[in-house]
């Protein structure tokens, strides 16, 4: 922008009419110094007389109808009243009359500029927020896609098994503090007196299950964390645990009513909780448990851990000794296997726990090593393992894990859960 050179230049840039008598004689001034003196003197007389004339002009006479005069910020117009021309205060201040001099925009112009700038700023912030959200969603999707692709490429290799394509997986890659996907999992809220999740929430156990004890950690690899804590006051409506009031809160989640599995190779990578008293498990129950009851529904314990003996893995297959549904629990039978891995501590690092499930055989694996099995010949009852089952992950506090007297808190970390075809078998049912 150029430099303002005078009142005319300023007025033109503001789009305002300018009354400047000096500039009318610009050329004449250049021609005659004497004429300049005369003009300046004449203008001084005119301004003086005008100033005097505009004092207290309300009701005073004027000469030309329609002419206007500004006095102390009030605009007066020459109007005809009773055949006489007089000055009268003008109510319409939207007149095109423009006093001299004017040096800047009006208040309305400034307000319009301010509103326009605020609107532009708000639109810019909204655009930036939308772009940031889109970037975050794209990054989250890319991370999830990358993990899914990695899982598909990491098909486990186990001696004697033909493991096929990935059928389903959950890598727990959500935001820190968020629950596991509600499409696949239900976090339970139950104590000894309650029953849901297709079975009991008690088994000589001391914990009350709450959804708040389960959360994704938001890490690069993505983990689901089940936190167990000693409490001095049980939650409202917790009821009782096995003996007296519940001493701990912990977490249990399952896929009941959302995802069901029939045959295949199902595996999870887990870091077990440390400390005597913990009783973590990765297991399955029959979909029909609410209709036929336990143990007639069948139960497959892919892994249970004695936390007071962290080098030992336990797997078990539970069933009914009779063909009579809804009869618990004298008819309960099971096939039980334990393996001691010596120096291995399942609470110090992640390990994989898996089931290889076929129509007439069930095999359990620890880090790809066979640790237990069940077949119709080992089951002294009805073979109910050709039906749909759902998955469960939990950490209980109970006698199976040893004394809980010194237990204050612990964490169970689940990296992922995956289901593959096995020898051409394997189905996942869900939404």
Question: How do residues 176-221 score in pLDDT, each as one tens digit?
Answer: 999 999 999 999 887 654 444 444 455 668 888 899 999 999 998 8
pLDDT-wise least confident of 21-30, 75-84, 128-137, 401-410: 21-30
CA–CA dist 318, 384 (Å, integer): 10
* Residue 202 burial (10 A CB sphere; 0-12, 13-18, 19+): buried
Q: Which domains does the chain have, with CATH numbers?
A: 7-107 (no CATH), 140-429 (2.60.120.200)
Average per-residue pLDDT for the chain: 82
pLDDT-wise least confident of 26-35, 125-134, 300-309: 26-35
Nearest to 319 by CA among 376, 379, 392: 379
CA–CA dist 142, 408 (Å, integer): 39
In this predicted structure, the answer to whether residue 289 has a pLDDT above a threshold of 50 is yes
What mean pLDDT is predicted for residues 222-230? 97
* Residue 165 burial (10 A CB sphere; 0-12, 13-18, 19+): exposed
CA–CA dist 414, 398 (Å, integer): 21
The token pair that represents 227 in the structure block: 């936190």
Name the CA radius of gyration of the chain, rounded: 44
Is residue 353 a contact partner of residue 339, using CB atoms and an 8 Å limit? no
What is the DSSP secondary-structure string of 294-351?
Answer: TTTT-EEEEEEE-TTSTTEEEEEEEEESSS-SS--STTEEEEEEEEE-TT--TTTS-E
Q: What pLDDT is attached to residue 6? A: 45
CA–CA dist 275, 86 (Å, integer): 103
Is residue 384 a contact partner of residue 286, using CB atoms and an 8 Å limit? yes
Is residue 365 a contact partner of residue 158, using CB atoms and an 8 Å limit? yes
Tell me the pLDDT tens digit for each residue of 26-83. 444 444 444 444 444 444 444 444 444 446 788 899 999 889 888 877 888 999 888 8
Q: What pLDDT is attached to residue 89? A: 87
Tell me the pLDDT tens digit for each residue of 371-405. 999 999 998 888 999 999 999 999 999 888 899 99
Is residue 237 a contact partner of residue 371, using CB atoms and an 8 Å limit? no
pLDDT-wise least confident of 55-69, 118-132, 268-282, 392-406: 55-69
Q: What pLDDT is attached to residue 153? A: 75
């Amino acid at each position: 922008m150029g430099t303002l050179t005078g009142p005319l230049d300023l007025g033109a840039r503001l789009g305002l009419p300018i009354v400047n008598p000096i500039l009318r004689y610009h050329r004449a001034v250049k021609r005659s110094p004497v004429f300049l003196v005369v003009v300046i003197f004449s203008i001084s007389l005119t301004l003086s007389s005008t100033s005097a004339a505009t004092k207290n002009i309300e009701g005073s006479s004027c000469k030309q109808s329609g002419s206007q005069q500004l006095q102390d910020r009030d605009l007066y117009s020459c109007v005809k009243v009773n055949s006489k021309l007089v000055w009268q205060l003008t109510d319409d201040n939207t007149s095109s009359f423009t006093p001299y001099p004017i040096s800047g925009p009006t208040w309305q112009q400034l307000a319009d500029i301010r509103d326009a700038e605020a609107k532009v700023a708000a639109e810019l912030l909204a655009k930036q927020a939308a772009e940031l959200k889109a970037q975050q969603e794209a990054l989250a999707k890319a991370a999830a896609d990358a993990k899914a692709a990695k899982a598909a490429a990491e098909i486990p290799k186990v001696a004697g098994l033909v493991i096929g394509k990935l059928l389903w997986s959950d890598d727990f890659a959500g935001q820190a503090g968020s629950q596991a996907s509600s499409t696949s999992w239900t976090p339970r809220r139950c104590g000894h007196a309650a029953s849901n999740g297709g079975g009991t929430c008690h088994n000589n156990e001391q914990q009350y299950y709450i959804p708040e004890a389960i959360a994704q950690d938001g890490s690069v690899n993505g983990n689901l964390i089940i936190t167990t804590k000693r409490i001095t006051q049980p939650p409202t409506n917790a009821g009782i645990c096995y003996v007296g009031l519940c001493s701990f809160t912990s977490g249990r989640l399952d896929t009941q009513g959302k995802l069901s599995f029939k045959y295949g190779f199902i595996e999870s990578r887990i870091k077990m909780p440390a400390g005597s008293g913990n009783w973590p498990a990765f297991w399955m129950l029959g979909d029909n448990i609410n209709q036929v009851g336990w143990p007639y529904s069948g139960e497959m314990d892919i892994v249970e851990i004695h936390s007071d003996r962290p080098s030992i893995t336990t797997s078990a297959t539970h069933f009914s000794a009779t063909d009579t549904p809804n009869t618990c629990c004298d008819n309960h039978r099971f096939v039980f296997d334990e393996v001691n891995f010596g120096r291995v501590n399942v609470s110090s690092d992640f390990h994989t726990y898996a089931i290889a499930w076929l129509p007439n055989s069930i095999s359990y694996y620890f880090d790809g090593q066979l640790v237990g099995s069940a077949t119709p010949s080992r089951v002294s009852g009805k073979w109910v393992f050709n039906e749909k089952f759902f998955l469960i992950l939990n950490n209980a506090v109970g006698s199976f894990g040893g004394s809980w007297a010194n237990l204050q808190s612990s964490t169970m970390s689940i990296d992922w859960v995956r289901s593959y075809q096995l020898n051409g078998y394997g189905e996942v049912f869900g939404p």
